[in-house]
Amino acid sequence: MKNKKEIFAGIVIIGNEILSGRTVDTNTSTLSIWLNSLGIKVQEVKTIPDIEKTIITTVNEFRKRFDYVFTSGGIGPTHDDITSASVSKVFNMEYGPHKEAYKILESYYKPGEFTEGRQKMAHMPMKANLILNPSSGAPGFYVENVFCLPGVPSILKSMLGDINNKLIGGQPILTNTLNLRTVESEIAKNLSNVQDNFNDIDIGSYPFFKAGKLGVSIVLRGTDQTKLNNCKSEIIAFVKEKKIEIVDRD
């Protein structure tokens, strides 16, 4: 049974351009860092194509498993932007021009510029709540615990401020990093022992390569600064005992 203080989120990245490699996904990082700051832990991220059945199945699964679900992509004006229509079906909600969204976009564009294609950006679940967009006018939306955001990274990031007061978070998730000049096999057993002593601290090890030499970044994540510090101290103790160099990656 999960701790009541823990709030979990799932992220669904939608778009054939992500899966094909034409576009690099940076929205996962943006959303995860932001959610962590609110005390909401990202439990799973899934990247899926612009296929209605896949979107419906994935969003339905995620909204039942997580406190919050965030989708990115597929709410623009083109033919393959089908997220809004798919999410409407998830909630059995009528899909069409959202009155408030339509008014926002109509006033955003100059007379004659609010074309049929742009009008499509006002089509969404008709009873959805809006997420305001300070960058390009076209709003995102949310229904219950599912928040739908655009795929353009700068626009998505600018819209997060309008969601802050709509979420109930837990304790902010703190991070501490230690960079070592070593390989994972050299410290695996020691790290495992430290993890046994700090069950409520997530310890991750990530190899890196800099200046022709291998290294490992140890990333600690938790909600208690004291425990985080104690965990780091225990790692530093065995690092010194093994005479492993601590390095700066910057």
Predicted confidence (pLDDT) at residue 3 exceeds the cutoff of 60: no
Helix axes 225-241, 184-197, angle to 10 degrees: 140
Of the given ranges (54-58, 97-101, 152-156, 219-223), which has the lowest mean pLDDT? 219-223
Alpha carbon dihedral 91, 168, 150, 61, in 10-degree steps, equals -40
pTM for the model: 0.80
CA distances from 248 to 177, 181, 232 (A): 10, 10, 16
Predicted confidence (pLDDT) at residue 2 exceeds the cutoff of 90: no
Tens digit of each residue's pLDDT (9 = 90 or more) over 89-120: 999 999 999 999 999 999 999 999 999 989 99
Q: Where do you find CATH 3.40.980.10 in the chain?
A: 7-166
Of the given ranges (15-29, 95-109, 172-186, 209-223), which has the lowest mean pLDDT? 209-223
Provide the CATH number for the domain formed by 174-246 in this structure.
3.30.70.1130
Query: How far is Cα 137 from Cα 188, in angstroms, rounded to an integer?
Result: 50
Superfamily covering domain 7-166 = MoaB/Mog-like domain (3.40.980.10)
Predicted confidence (pLDDT) at residue 250 exceeds the cutoff of 60: no
For residues 98 and 112, is the Cβ–Cβ distance under 8 A? no
Tens digit of each residue's pLDDT (9 = 90 or more) over 151-203: 999 999 999 999 998 998 888 888 999 999 999 999 999 999 999 999 999 99
Strand partners, 176: 220
What's the confidence (pLDDT) of residue 152? 96
